[in-house]
Amino acid sequence: MANVAVVGSQWGDEGKGKIVDWLSSRADVVVRFQGGHNAGHTLVINGVTYKLSLLPSGVVRPGKLSVIGNGVVVDPWALLREIETLRGQGVEITPETLVVAENCSLILPLHSAVDKAREEARGVNKIGTTGRGIGPAYEDKVARRAIRLCDLADEAVLADKVEQLLFHHNALLRGLGAAELDGAELLAQLKDVAPKILPYAGVVWHRLDEAKRQGKRILFEGAQGAMLDVDHGTYPFVTSSNTVAGNAAAGSGMGPGAVGYVLGITKAYTTRVGSGPFPTELLDAVGEKIGERGREFGTVTGRKRRCGWFDAVMVRQAIKTGGITGIALTKLDVLDGFEELKVCTGYKLDGQVIQHLPAGQTAQAAVEPVYETFEGWSESTRGARSWADLPATAIKYIRRIEELIEAPVTLLSTSPERDDTILMKDPFQD
């Protein structure tokens, strides 16, 4: 049996929540390995909607161990609020069912303040962050000045780290013309939250090693998508972590051999939130229709998503850089009723057709999509649970996507309900 990593193969918002929930019913451990509470997953189970940001999707399933790995940046206040919200929906969350890596870096109130101040200062050159402090928290981690979860148990170390942290950030805030932060207030906030969050702290790498040796199934849950990866995405319009499956190992404390099957969640069309290049974006009635039918609004921010045709070049690139074994194609039903559909098969740049998204910012903004046109289908695919339930033209669309992205569609999702799924291959049985 293989462990499975689930990652997004576009710009996030591909419908990972449902797929992870579907897979987590057969996993023993579910691990978040990167990102923060800027990412959002929506689960619909027995008609009840759960909105998750930091917590792994397996948390709503009894008997599963949920893990927040060291690659995640954790806002302890946001995590505690999320736990309380889910408890209000009848989900039991205890230190026995949830463990947070003791060596994860924390997102503090100052990180949000810095995030918003910098984004405001950029003016028209905004990156499009959520303002939740994710980027500044990762910067502190890399700069070796972060406060980690384990530091909350050591008051002497904590006080010294707060002083060093504010030495840097207050200078930055002064330069931006923003209000400086009070060290005593921050220290008091951390001392207050410490006894509430520390019971969840644990040695994650050891817990996961034990689970592996016991033959338990581990599901690694990624946030965002490959094109938001800090190295392989549309830089600088990206997130601040590595979103590709290679980070499942580093972000959880396991070796790369622990990650088996990599499932890339992929929408049947394309969306993105925030600024940055989007070659297949539709700024017309068709794009509006896709957005309305797909209810394309961010789980966390509520921001309207930009919509466009399926970009096979981008997804193929994500498959290569992310080590994706097969894809789960989601939201096929959103395309029901369109007379014709288009898929991007190449980019035109400087009069030539290229087969990859270039790394340069100017080139990314300049590429023009080369389209292949497909006949649409009038029948409904919503709720289909077998290939026999799909129109022939829909099957043709799927098969052509497989050819273009050079990877198989191993799972097809036809509605937000977990059972409306067509399985071609079980990732856990790789």
**Is 350 within any annotated ligand binding site?**
no
Residue 306 has pLDDT above 90, yes or no: yes
Hey, CA dihedral for 208, 213, 218, 221, is it positive or negative?
Answer: positive
**Is 299 within any annotated ligand binding site?**
yes
**Is 129 within any annotated ligand binding site?**
no
Query: What is the predicted pLDDT for the residue at 161?
Result: 95
Query: What is the predicted pLDDT for the residue at 416?
Result: 78
Query: Which residues lie closer than 8 Å to 408 by C-beta, 6 or more apart?
Result: 326, 327, 402, 424, 425
38-47, 166-175, 237-246, 277-286: range with lowest mean pLDDT: 38-47
**Is 302 within any annotated ligand binding site?**
yes
Determine the distance from the C-alpha atom of residue 40 to the mean position of all C-alpha atoms in its chain, rounded to a whole number: 7
pLDDT per position as a tens digit, 209-267: 999 999 999 999 998 999 999 999 999 999 999 999 999 999 999 988 899 999 999 99
- Among the listed residues 13, 115, 229, 311, the single catalytic one is 13
Indicate the pTM of the whole model: 0.91
Alpha carbons within 13 angstroms on the beta-carbon side of residue 256 total: 6
Tell me if residue 111 is catalytic. no
Say how far apart CA 365 and CA 367 lie, in whole Å: 6
- Tokens 């077998």 correspond to what residue? 386
- Among the listed residues 41, 111, 169, 342, the single catalytic one is 41
Residue 299 has pLDDT above 80, yes or no: no
Q: What number is the average pLDDT over the span 312-334?
A: 96
Question: How does strand 73-74 pair with strand 105-106?
Answer: parallel
Determine the distance from the C-alpha atom of residue 142 to the mean position of all C-alpha atoms in its chain, rounded to a whole number: 21
Asked if 314 and 355 touch (Cβ cutoff 8 Å), the reply is no
**Is 37 within any annotated ligand binding site?**
no
Say how far apart CA 123 and CA 119 lie, in whole Å: 7
Asked if 116 and 131 touch (Cβ cutoff 8 Å), the reply is yes
The residue among 399 and 418 whose pLDDT is bigger is: 399
Query: What is the predicted pLDDT for the residue at 130?
Result: 66
Query: What is the predicted pLDDT for the residue at 163?
Result: 93
- Among the listed residues 64, 141, 169, 342, the single catalytic one is 141
Distances (CA, A) of 200 to 5, 58, 59, 192, 212: 23, 16, 14, 15, 21
Distances (CA, A) of 236 to 141, 173, 359, 415: 19, 22, 10, 33
What DSSP designation does 178 have? P
The three-state secondary structure class of 228 is: helix
Hey, CA dihedral for 140, 124, 14, 297, is it positive or negative?
Answer: positive
pLDDT per position as a tens digit, 66-115: 999 999 999 999 999 999 999 999 999 999 999 999 999 999 988 988 87
- Tokens 């129109």 correspond to what residue? 391
Query: What is the predicted pLDDT for the residue at 377?
Result: 96
Tell me if residue 13 is catalytic. yes
Residue 144 has pLDDT above 90, yes or no: yes
Query: What is the predicted pLDDT for the residue at 57?
Result: 85
Extract the tokens encoding 317.
């690139």
**Is 94 within any annotated ligand binding site?**
no
Residue type, 213: R
Domains contained in the chain, CATH given? 4-101+202-258 (3.40.440.10), 105-197 (1.10.300.10), 266-429 (3.90.170.10)
Task: Write down the mean pLDDT value for the chain.
Answer: 91
Residue 45: φ, ψ to 5°: -125, 120
In DSSP notation, 48-62 reads EEEEESSS-GGGGST
Residue 295 has pLDDT above 90, yes or no: no
